[in-house]
Amino acid sequence: IQLTQSPSLLSASVGDRVTLSCKGSQNINNYLAWYQQKLGEAPKLLIYKTNSLQTGIPSRFSGSGSGTDYTLTISSLHSEDLATYYCYQYNNGLTFGSGTKLEIK
Amino acid sequence: EVQLVESGGGLVQPGRSLKLSCAASGFTFSNYGMAWVCQAPTKGLEWVASISTGGGNTYYRDSVKGRFTISRDNAKNTLYLQMDSLRSEDTATYYCARHREWSYFDYWGQGVMVTVSS
C-alpha cells in the first residue's frame, strides 16, 4: 500500500487548527499511525489505530479517518509542534508516507 | 523508562559489511518484536526488517533480502542487524524500534549513521 501525504509543506501560526492528510492506495482498515519527527531527533509515536493517543502525547493531537483517507489534527498549534509528520500503515505490508513538514509562521 | 541505544555505524566501502547493535532496557525485551527502520539523508522513513520475540521469524523489505540479517540475543537484551554487500543506496540513519505485535513502532532509539562510500 502506498501512502500519499498532503500538503508536503504547511505553514501555520501558533494557535491555529491544523489538519494533515494521508491517503492510501488501498483500504487501510484503520491500521494507521502518525509519527512526529523533530529536526535531528528520532520519530515519536503520536497516534496508533487511527485515533488512539499514545501515552504522554498532548490531547491537542487527534486522529480520524477510515478506508483510504486519514487525518491528523492539531487543535491549537504550539511552537514546539514544528516538525515533520509521517503517517504509517500496517494493514498490508509496512509503509510510511513521504511526510508533511510543518512550519510555524 | 524504555531505552534503545544503537551502535556500530560508520563509514564503509561498497561491498563490505557492517553490524549494528541495539541495547534495550526499561522493558522485558524478550516479550516484544523488534525492528530496524532507516532514513536516507533528507528523505523519509523506510522499514528495513523485523524479528519476532524469540527470533524464529524474520521479515525484510525486498531491497535488503539476502544481504541483511536481523537477529537478537534475549539474554543480552540486544538486537542486531548484520549488513553485507553494502551499496551506496544503503547510506542512511538506522533506527532500532520496538515493534508492537507486528503493527506500529512505539519506541525508537536515537539512530546510528551508516555511510557507504569509496
Q: pLDDT tens digit string along B10-67?
A: 999 999 999 999 999 999 999 999 999 999 998 999 999 999 999 999 999 999 999 9
What's the average model confidence in pLDDT over A47-57?
Answer: 97
Amino acid in the structure at residue B25: S
Q: Do B44 and A86 touch (CB under 8 A)?
A: yes
H helices then E strands: how many in chain B?
A: 0, 11
Which residues does B62 contact at the CB level (< 8 Å), separation at least 6? none
Q: Which of B37, B103, B109 sits opposite A90 (nearest CB)?
A: B103
What is residue A24's three-state secondary structure? strand
Chain centre to alpha carbon of residue B87: 16
Q: In this structure, how many other beta carbons lie within 10 angstroms of the beta carbon of residue A26?
A: 12
**Cell reading at A48:** 496508533
- pLDDT tens-digit map of B67-95: 999 999 999 999 999 999 999 999 999 99
Q: Do B110 and A42 touch (CB under 8 A)?
A: yes
**Is the CB of A35 inside 8 Å of chain B's CB atoms?**
yes
| Alpha carbon distance B8, A19 (integer Å) | 39
For residue B102, name the pLDDT band (cuts at 50, 70, 90): confident
Q: Do A31 and B103 touch (CB under 8 A)?
A: yes
Q: Give the residue among A24, A41, A40 at the shortest CA–CA distance from A92.
A: A24
Please determine, for residue B100, whether its predicted confidence score (pLDDT) is greater than 90.
Answer: no
Question: Which residues partner with A35 through β-bridges?
Answer: A45, A86
Question: Which residues partner with A36 through β-bridges?
Answer: A44, A85
Residue B23 exposed, middle or buried by CB count within 10 Å (0-12, 13-18, 19+)? middle
Please determine, for residue A80, whether its predicted confidence score (pLDDT) is greater than 90.
Answer: yes
Please determine, for residue A13, whether its predicted confidence score (pLDDT) is greater than 90.
Answer: yes
pLDDT of residue B70: 98
Is residue B75 within 8 Å of residue A63, measured between CB atoms?
Answer: no
pLDDT of residue A9: 97
What rounded mean pLDDT belongs to chain B?
97
Q: Do A44 and B47 touch (CB under 8 A)?
A: no
Task: Give Dmax over CA atoms of chain B in angstroms.
Answer: 40
Chain B residues whose CB is inside 8 A of the A95 CB are 47
What rounded mean pLDDT belongs to chain A?
97
Please determine, for residue B101, whether its predicted confidence score (pLDDT) is greater than 90.
Answer: no
